[in-house]
Structure 1
Amino acid sequence: MKKYNDTTYAILGILTTECKSGYAIKQFIDRSLNHFWKISYGQIYPTLKLIVQEELAEVRASSSPGKPDKNEYFLTSKGMEILKNWLKQPVEHLPIERNEILLKLFFGRFQAKESKILLLQDYKQNLEGRYHTYVSIEQAIINHNDDNDDSIYWLFTLDYGKRITKAAIEWCDYTLDKLSAEED
């Protein structure tokens, strides 16, 4: 069976939701996947074109009064089969995190102590903002998706993000304590 890139599989998965247009797919990504999987507009439309060419989805023109026409994409049985087959496959690569704070801290001996502390405090504050965003998203899913079969899985991925973020906040606290105790 032909192998596709992860963006193709992600978009096949998104097409199982109510998101059917390129714009709706991008909005969905920005609201949910963007916290752990980035896909740009520049990737969406070529991928949709490929999906149609490979007969994994059909495209239909849709029109609404007072709105411009748009293309909507619907999974074919072949597309659903490809998606389900991919979902069964083991994960090929453990994620590798590219983290600027870790890179800067790795070379921390070339920074003033105050600079390192400010850098970590700012990073921690951003993480706390992200954590609060995750909590808000979690509440929105719980409050508005009781009848959605996907919501439990969305909550699983959100829980992962919350746990990773909480661990990173705890790491900031630990590292700040160590740096504060360090002699100049």
Structure 2
Amino acid sequence: MKPYNDTTYAILGILTTNCNSGYAIKQFIDQSLNHFWKISYGQIYPALKLIVEEGLAEVKTSSASGRADRNEYLLTDKGLNTLKNWLEQPVKQVPVERNEVLLKLFFGSYQSREQTSALLRDYQQKLEIRYDTYTAIEQGIQEHSKEDKDAMYWLLTLDYGKRTTRAAIEWCEEAHKKFTPEEEE
């Protein structure tokens, strides 16, 4: 099978969730994938165009009174098989995180200890907000989507995010100690 980029595979996966318009796909990304996989709005329509050209989905125009016509994308058997084939392939490499905080910390000897401490504090606060967001999403899935066939997989993905965020918060706490005088602790 022809290889596609990860954005194409992500959108094929999203089409399995009955999000079938460009707008619905963007909403789905913003509410779920965006926490671990970034896809810009500008990537969606070129990927959808390719998916249709390759026969991986069909496009149908739907009309509603008083509304503009909208294109709906429906996964074909070929598209579903392409997605399944990709899912069965081993991961090519362990993902490398691009983390601005770590980059700044790496060169931290060129800033004050106070500034480094502030950087770590700010990062920890942002991580705590992220953790709370993940907890809220988890509760939403358990309350409203627990019976969905995808719920277990969504919760597993979310668990990874919660665990890595919790580990990063703990790292911040430990790293911050190196820049805080003992009498302040």
Please give the TM-score of this superposition, normalised by the length of structure 1. 0.97
Q: Deviations over 1:61-111 (max 9, x none)?
A: 011122211000001000011000000000002111110110111111111
Pairwise CA distance, 1:181? 4.5
Number of equivalences? 182
Structure 1 runs not aligned, ≥5 long = none
Q: Counterpart of 1:137?
A: 137
Residue in structure 1 matched with residue 89 of structure 2 by the alignment: 89
Q: Map residues 30-179 of structure 1 onto 2, 5 A cutoff.
A: 30-179=30-179
Q: Which amino acid aligns with 2:178?
A: K
Unaligned runs of 5+ in 2: none
- CA distance in 1 between counterparts of 2:28 and 2:170 reads 30
CA distance in 2, matches of 1:146, 1:63: 32
Q: Distance in 1 between matches of 2:91 and 2:19?
A: 26
CA distance in 1, matches of 2:157, 2:146: 17
CA–CA separation in structure 1 for the residues paired with 2:136 and 2:56: 35
Cα root mean square deviation, aligned: 1.0
1:74 match: secondary structure? strand
| Structure 1 residue ranges (4+ consecutive) displaced by more than 4 angstroms after TM superposition | none
Q: Which amino acid aligns with 2:91?
A: V
1:34 Cα shift?
Answer: 0.1
| Percent pairwise identity | 66
Q: Confirm or deny: 8 A CA contact 2:114 2:179 kept in the other structure.
A: no
Instruction: Give me the whole-angstrom Cα distance separating, in 2, the residues matched to 1:58 and 1:18.
Output: 13
- Whether contact under 8 Å (2:127, 2:169) holds in the other structure is yes
